Amino acid sequence: MTYQEALDWIHGRLAFGSRPGLQRVEALLEKLDNPQHKIKTVHIAGTNGKGSTVTDLRCLLEEENLKVGTYTSPFITYFNERIAINNRPIPNDDLVRWVLLLQPLVVELDAIEEVSGITEFEIVTALMFGYFAEQKVDIAIVEVGLGGLLDCTNVITPLAAAITTIGMDHMDILGNTIEEIAFQKAGIIKNEVPVILGELPESAVTVITAEADAKKSPIYKYGEAFSSSKHESIALVGERFTYQSEQLDLADIKVSLIGKHQVDNASVAIKLYEILAPLLGYTVSEKTIKSGLSQAHWSGRLEVVRKEPLILLDGAHNEPAVRRLVESLATIASGKKIHVMFASLSTKACQPMIELFQSLPNVELTVTTFDYPKARSIEEYPTSVLRDVKSESNWQDGLLNLTESCQKDDMIVVTGSLYFISQVRAFILGGKFYE
């Protein structure tokens, strides 16, 4: 089997879609002798901020010379980065070897009605647990795929869990209220396992606290058990902030990710780092925190990919993420004209996101589409939206035209679905942009 054949087989399971529930993945993991129970884990859920928090925590734990596995989705550069050890993606040969191991097991389970139709995400999750157990990672930081309670990563009892943010997204699966979505996220809480909460709506905190109390799980709330205050933005480089908890009082921390929300994510990561210390055998260190966070980088999050003209990529794929992006742009742009190119999935409510972008001063908005099964076509944008903004059916041509026509001091922001951002990033950084 070649690497491409392995990927084709994995992606071929996409036809089974997103199907919440643990029965299928548990059956597959049982065939692998339950590798998820052989490694220490941290579980991170949230509407937004999961990937950045995973990255921040990984950098902190790597500073302690630990072997750190990370599981994230979707990928931005190439598939293997979803499963990585100390930021090194799983090698192609290992991926192929694990696919060859999993294929006959999936075929066997497909013949059993109760567990047939194992999805792409379930296969990759099982592969991840198997690979991390085989490689004997010291700790695996596992990002929830969707929700929490019925997400296929929810087969672990972690050392600690975190819920970064909660907003209205994936309502077709998770529910139509903040409380319903919070209940799904709270499903990752396990008996007596500490849980850290980011900046959440009070209605969500009430639901999650009730679940934590029922399971006798210690709960650490942002703004109470720990807090931070943003000092300043370092122009297109990162953020400076202070951090306080019962154990720490730190000044002048720098995180190399842009936006006030990255201070929130880094604060959750620091609190996780504090809680994990006695469980993983290290001593909390100010030097480690400052050094680790200064090295954190997460592609596709207010990422500068070109300086003249300035092009930023940001995977703001839902309304809460767009709100935070708009807040950041209001600071970063400082009088510049902003050209926004936006593409979303057809499953997302696009109009509220577009209205947020339109609230920016001196903005020009272009909606587009891209090559992905669930991508929103130009025709699927509301007529009211298409009357007010530009549209471009070929985003590559549209982006090239933007860079040629905009002024030197203008800013281009390409945003929307992370699947879209992945394609744009490859186009710009892969050399095709300059041909």
Which strand (E) or helix (H) includes residue 306?
Answer: strand 303-307
Tokens of 388: 């007010």
Q: Model-level pTM?
A: 0.88
The CATH-assigned architecture of domain 3-294 is 3-Layer(aba) Sandwich (3.40)
Average pLDDT, integer, range 234-247: 86
DSSP 139-205: EEEEE-SSSSTTSTTTT---SEEEE----S--HHHH-SSHHHHHHHHGGG--TT--EEE-S--HHHH
**Does residue 216 come out as left (phi exceeding 0), alpha (psi in the -120 to 50 range) or beta?**
left
Report pLDDT digits (tens) over 347-374: 888 999 999 999 998 899 999 999 998 8
Please tell me the total number of residues recorded for the chain in this structure.
435
Distance CA 197, CA 180 (A): 17
Report pLDDT digits (tens) over 109-156: 999 999 999 999 999 999 999 999 999 999 999 999 988 999 999 999
Distance CA 271, CA 424 (A): 34
Report pLDDT digits (tens) over 47-99: 889 999 999 999 999 999 999 999 998 888 889 999 999 999 999 999 999 99
CATH label, 303-434, candidates 3.30.70.270, 3.90.190.20, 3.40.309.10, 3.60.15.10 = 3.90.190.20
Distance CA 398, CA 61 (A): 42
Average pLDDT, the chain: 92
Write down the residue that tokens 């980065």 correspond to. 81
Question: Where in the chain are the domains?
Answer: 3-294, 303-434
Average pLDDT, integer, range 161-179: 82
